[in-house]
């Protein structure tokens, strides 16, 4: 091997060695920074709200659709709310709603025999995202009612995907109540 080639190899070796020493001082802090930032980016587990999310009683979030006029005139929805209750199975979340309805004082229903009741034929609660897109629906059907001068709370629960539960932002309630005027109790 020639002296010039040998001198070039030795010089190259020393230059590479110096570069490695310099990089070592830079690489170690860089690696530590990357490790620390990746620890802080750990995905946090989604937690449902512990409180009820109150729904508005405006036309966008409440409707008497399918109700008779006697129910619209005598019943008052005091409030409605929804809540993410908790995880049931992997990627499956339980949610629920409640609605409070009052059968207000009305002289038309005083007197007579027994207690006047107003039938609640169907309560439909829709869970919506912030843009108003439908996520899920729960229904309460059957022989439900509110007695005159009383307040009644109705509740329902169901399951929804974790993906949809994270997007839930508001609720909409539709109530079908009352009876044809000629069959008044």
Range 53-183 has CATH code 2.60.40.10: yes
pLDDT of residue 184: 47
HSE-up of residue 22 (Cα within 13 Å, Cβ side): 6
CA angle 140, 150, 82 (to 5 degrees): 40
Return d(Cα 13, Cα 18) in angstroms, integer. 9
Q: What is the pLDDT tens value at each position of the chain, 185 positions in all?
A: 677 777 777 878 777 677 777 766 666 665 566 666 655 544 556 566 678 888 888 888 999 998 999 899 999 999 999 999 888 888 899 999 999 999 988 778 776 666 788 999 999 999 999 999 999 999 999 889 999 889 999 999 999 999 999 999 999 999 999 988 764 45
pLDDT of residue 161: 94
Phi, psi (rounded to 5 degrees) for 26: -90, -35
| Domain boundaries along the sequence of the chain | 1-42, 53-183
Q: Which one, of 93, 160, 175, 151, lies nearest residue 128 by Cα?
A: 160
Question: What is residue 91's predicted lDDT score, i.e. its pLDDT?
Answer: 87
pLDDT for 41:
45
- Rounded CA-CA distance 17/30 in Å is 20
């Amino acid at each position: 091997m020639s002296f010039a080639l040998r001198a070039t190899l030795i010089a190259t070796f020393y230059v590479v060695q110096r570069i490695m020493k310099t990089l070592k001082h830079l690489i170690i802090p860089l690696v530590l920074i990357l490790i620390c930032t990746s620890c802080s980016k750990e995905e946090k587990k989604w937690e449902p709200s512990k409180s009820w999310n109150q729904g508005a009683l405006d036309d966008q979030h409440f409707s008497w659709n399918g109700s008779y006029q006697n129910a619209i005139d005598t019943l008052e929805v005091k409030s409605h709310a929804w809540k993410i209750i908790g995880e049931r199975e992997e990627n499956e979340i339980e949610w629920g709603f409640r609605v409070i309805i009052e059968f207000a004082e009305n002289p038309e229903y005083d007197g007579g025999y027994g207690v006047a009741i107003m039938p609640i034929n169907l309560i439909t609660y829709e869970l919506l995202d912030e843009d108003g897109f439908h996520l899920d629906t729960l229904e309460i059907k059957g022989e439900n009612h509110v007695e005159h001068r009383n307040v009644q709370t109705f509740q329902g629960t169901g399951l929804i995907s974790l993906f949809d539960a994270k997007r839930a932002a508001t609720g909409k309630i539709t109530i079908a109540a009352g009876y044809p005027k000629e069959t008044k109790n």
